[in-house]
Amino acid sequence: MQGKEMDAGRLLRAGALTHRERAAYMKWNVVTDSSCDLIPSDYRSDVIELSSVPFEISVGVRGYTDDEQLDIEEMLRDMEQEKTASYTSCPAPGAWLEQFEKADHMFAITISSQLSGSMNSALTARDLALEADPDKKIAVLDSRSTGPELVLCVREIERLAREGVGFDEAVNRANAFLDKTKVIFALSSFDNLIKNGRMHKMAGFLAKALGMWGIGGASDEGRIVVEGKTRGSKRTVRALVDCMRERGFSGGNVAISHCDNHAVAQALKESILSAWADSRIEILPTRGLCSYYAERGGLIVGF
């Protein structure tokens, strides 16, 4: 089998295989930072090999690595009890480089470059990898988003792999896909905003006491924008559906990430299906980084 794979590799580099033959031989490698809410060890695909590089999350004196061993419930409890500001650190170039060295064809998808240095780290690692092996193909994609929008992009790359398109064409299509997808969110806790000085303590206390939710999305550049407030989970679900409609959603793929709030995520799914019956909706728990930003109860929606 190894000899067959080596022969296939030479044919692929020579462009001697058809799309169908290429799809049969190639297994694209996709690596995301841990802002993506997919768990690599749970991801099953015969055309994609998924991996992840972790963020580091600091809460008081405690440090957390956002990998598959992270106890998110423990991290959330520490966040809720900690009085001081916490912070995150993006993956270093070495973490990306370790993944880039494993394959000849690699897609890297990062959290918005407006929110983190993760993309810059990935670009540095790409340059180092190509310096060592110029024949590699490495595409670094800026999601201009986080969480569920990266999930949708991974699914799209898998679809392109099954279609048998070439790597360069898949890069163009994946970037075009990210230009069309959107992300919105609903926050029921404002503790991080208060601790990091982005919301006045009294305003945050009143919002929490009144059961207020913050509703927002991402700008075209990938910056987080809080657009309004609503009260109660039912109104929040309606507000999120309205946000999707205003952004031009008319049915299709949706990913809903929730931080310890499956009930509201399920209610949102049902409401989306009531409005757009042909939608295909995936519900996922947030991993560490999105749990840090969304906080307990929060939802992030990609579509």
> What are the phi and psi torsion angles at 278 (to 5°)?
-90, 10
**pLDDT given for residue 47 in this prediction:** 93
> Residue 144: which residues within 8 A CB-CB, separation 6 or more?
112, 113, 114, 178, 218, 220, 221, 222
**pLDDT given for residue 196 in this prediction:** 62
Q: Are 63 and 74 in contact (CB under 8 A)?
A: no
Q: What pTM, to 2 d.p., does this model score?
A: 0.87
Fold of 183-302: Hypothetical Protein Tm841; Chain: A;domain 3 (3.30.1180)
Residue type (1 letter), 25: Y
Gyration radius of the chain's alpha carbons? 20
pLDDT mean over 95-119: 95
**Residue 6's pLDDT band (boundaries 50, 70, 90)?**
very low
pLDDT mean over 54-60: 96
> Residue 167: which residues within 8 A CB-CB, separation 6 or more?
28, 105, 137, 139
Residue 24: pLDDT above 50? no
Q: pLDDT tens digits, residue range 175-227?
A: 999 999 999 999 888 777 666 654 455 444 544 555 678 898 877 776 777 78
pLDDT mean over 45-58: 96
Helix (H) or strand (E) holding 41: none
CATH placement of domain 2-55+90-180? 3.40.50.10440
Enumerate the CATH 3.40.50.10440 domain ranges in the chain, comma separated.
Answer: 2-55+90-180
Residue 19: pLDDT above 70? no
**Structure letter (DSSP) for residue 92:** P
Enumerate the CATH 3.30.1180.10 domain ranges in the chain, comma separated.
Answer: 183-302
